[in-house]
Amino acid sequence: MNTKYVFVSGGVASSLGKGIISASLAKLLQARGLRVTIQKFDPYINIDPGTLNPYEHGECYVTEDGAETDLDLGHYERFLGVHTSKANNVTTGKIYHTVINKEREGAYLGKTVQIVPHITDEIKRRMLLLGKSGKYDIVITEIGGTVGDMESQPFVEAVRQLQWELPEEDCVTIHLTLVPYLSAAKELKTKPTQHSVQALQRAGVQPDIIVCRTEHELTPDLRRKMALFCNVKPGRVIQSIDAASIYEVPLNMAAEKLDEVVLAHFGLDNLPQPDLTKWNAFLGKLNNPKDTVNIALVGKYVELQDAYKSILESFVHAGAANECKVKVHSIHSEYLNEGNVEEQLSGMDGVLVAPGFGERGLEGKVVAIRYAREHDLPFFGICLGMQMCVVEFARNVLGLKDAVSREVNPQTTTPVIDLMEDQKSTTIKGGTMRLGAYDCRVEKNTLAYRIYGSELISERHRHRYEFNNEYLAAMEAAGMKASGRNPETGLVEIVEIPSHPFFIGVQFHPELKSTPEHPQPIFVSFVKAALEYKASRK
């Protein structure tokens, strides 16, 4: 069977959930036994989102092979349970970078290098790359941005050309639009969809399927009208109604037969029905919690929920695993201090201190950690959150009052967190952190070992600073244990306080590998510890 390509574009407005629709379709096709991957083409000029502030673009997701990517790749992995890679996220910046480098090498000698064909050829090459690996039956490509934007035009042109070049039964295009509800008129409006499809048609792309994001049911009449005016077959106007959880969307898409319509286009009508047994088991637990825990998420980007996307999703998975609802309370570390910490944290059953960069809000994180440590409140620190629990312990238990991370004070004489050796010569900011998956050896008879049940684990990273091993012996003597370390370099990956009921800090990002079907073990144990803490308070 030839690899089949699905292209997903969006119109009318951004944030309609193209990533979730793509992931839901992928899930349904995978659940019928197909090998599926999803890739995202982003129209911005940054090579990757690694240098973007989370306020600009939400969380930066990191793949096993160390690519800093769009957060939609997190959704792809959570829905499919399959790893993505560098090749799954392409930006305009990457395309131009390749073409300009080739021009300098002389690859186009004598030719004028242009958007068409050189940029579009490079886009097409990358759109087909994963398909040519032979590892996938279906490659779904999500085009970032909104049709009609200047930035996304070369991507839409590449889709137009591929729609023409590929055999018809190997290529399907889906356009996601918004059908707004005007409450004054009590009416759903189809005109924005018609205009959006017209914009796509003007660019030469005829969508095969329209998916309509809506707050109310689409009537058969509305569906017929949109099919007629958008020139798609009846039955190919699919409703995507607002769902209580993103994890319901695959079921909604199955009910709307999105997968069947796509498979019919591909001539693949004889596949078994999707096997969603595990997915449904997860949803069953998610929708029937027996208890609730309150978790404080202490960070500095809390105004923007997307900044901590994978952490929030990991709590959804871990909550379901514990048959418990996890209420996450965002607490702004910049405004947290000794004077208000009791009021902010005393009602919580656990504290998670988030990853981050730079000085803003750091002291608030230290205050939260001290409170959790001194009150036996379950604590979980991730990356910067782990580094700050080392700083807090060094200051308040070891008595190193000036302890700090070198990230904050390059001249410090007490760098309990220091710049990694191989980072010292790095001047370039993009893609130069310690990125991607590394092994970690877990010591037996520790909390970390009880959590993972394994002596060798692998998790993903994104950092420049590390625990300074010169302080290790003193920290361990004072009661903070390094329970996980990199087997080759000795870099401290996990710290814990054995005398505390649940206190763990990790240099890596466990949230990147949590999925509904395989919830991340630290999150699962942390929620369990929060439940126990809550019960002990009663």
Q: Which of 71, 75, 482, 50 is nearest to 246 (CA)?
A: 75
What is the CA 493 to chain-centroid distance, rounded?
22
Q: How far is the CB of 51 from ligand GLN (least distance, A)?
A: 13
Segment near ligand GLN (CB under 6 A); pick from 101-109, 349-357, 514-522, 524-532? 349-357
CA distance linking residue 255 with residue 306, whole number of Å: 28
3-class state of residue 408 by DSSP = coil
Of the listed pieces 28-36, 290-298, 456-464, 515-523, which binds ligand GLN according to CB under 6 A? 456-464
Q: Which stretch binds ligand GLN (CB under 6 A): 23-31, 245-253, 287-295, 460-468?
A: 460-468
Q: Is 485 in the site for ligand GLN (CB under 6 A)?
A: no
CB closer to ligand GLN out of 174 and 437: 437
Contact region with ligand GLN (CB under 6 A), list: 169-177, 230-238, 330-338, 457-465: 457-465
State which of residues 289, 357, 408, 490 lies at the interface with ligand GLN (CB under 6 A): 357
509 belongs to the catalytic site:
yes
Structure tokens at 244: 């209580």
Q: Answer yes or no: 511 catalytic.
A: yes
**Considering the rule CB under 6 A, would residue 355 count as an interface residue with ligand GLN?**
yes
Comparing CA positions, the residue from 163, 239, 167, 249 lying closest to residue 208 is 163
For ligand GLN, the closer CB: 358 or 399: 358
Do strands 481-485 and 492-496 pair parallel, antiparallel, or not at all (unpaired)?
Answer: antiparallel
CB contact at 8 A, 123 and 154: yes
59 touches ligand GLN (CB under 6 A): no
Segment 463-482, which members bind ligand GLN (CB under 6 A)? 463-465
- Rounded Cα distance, 483 and 504, in Å: 9
Say whether residue 67 binds ligand GLN (CB under 6 A). no
To ligand GLN, the closest distance from the beta carbon of 54 in angstroms equals: 11
Interface with ligand GLN includes 383 (CB under 6 A)?
Answer: yes
Please measure the distance between the N-terminal and C-terminal CA atoms of the chain and give it in whole angstroms: 61
Question: Is residue 131 within the footprint of ligand GLN (CB under 6 A)?
Answer: no
Asked whether 58 and 307 are in contact (CB, 8 A), the reply is yes
Q: Cβ 180 to ligand GLN, closest distance in Å?
A: 38
| Among 160-168, 207-215, 303-311, 458-466, the segment contacting ligand GLN (CB under 6 A) | 458-466
Contact between 36 and 81 (Cβ < 8 Å):
no
Closest approach, Cβ 382 to ligand GLN, in A, equals 7
Q: Which of 324, 383, 389, 440 is the catalytic position?
A: 383
From candidates 407, 418, 496, 511, binder to ligand GLN by CB under 6 A = 407
61 scored as a contact of ligand GLN (CB under 6 A):
no
| CA of residue 500 relative to chain centroid, distance | 31
State yes or no: residue 415 binds ligand GLN (CB under 6 A).
no
Tokens representing 214 are 């809506």
Question: Between residues 179 and 435, which has the closer beta carbon with respect to ligand GLN?
Answer: 435
- Catalytic residue list contains 171: no
Q: Is 434 helix (H, G, I), strand (E, B) or coil?
A: strand
| DSSP per-residue letters across 57-109 | HSPPEE-TT--EE-THHHHHHHHH-----GGGEEEHHHHHHHHHHHHHHTTTT
Q: In 3-state terms, the chain is what percent helix, strand and coil (to 5)?
A: 40, 20, 35
> What amino acid is encoded at 511 in this protein?
E
Q: How many CA atoms lie within 13 A of 204 on its CB side?
A: 12
Radius of gyration for the alpha carbons in the chain, expressed in angstroms and rounded: 25
Residue ranges that bind ligand GLN, judged by CB under 6 A? 355-357, 383-384, 407, 462-465
Just list the catalytic residues.
383, 509, 511
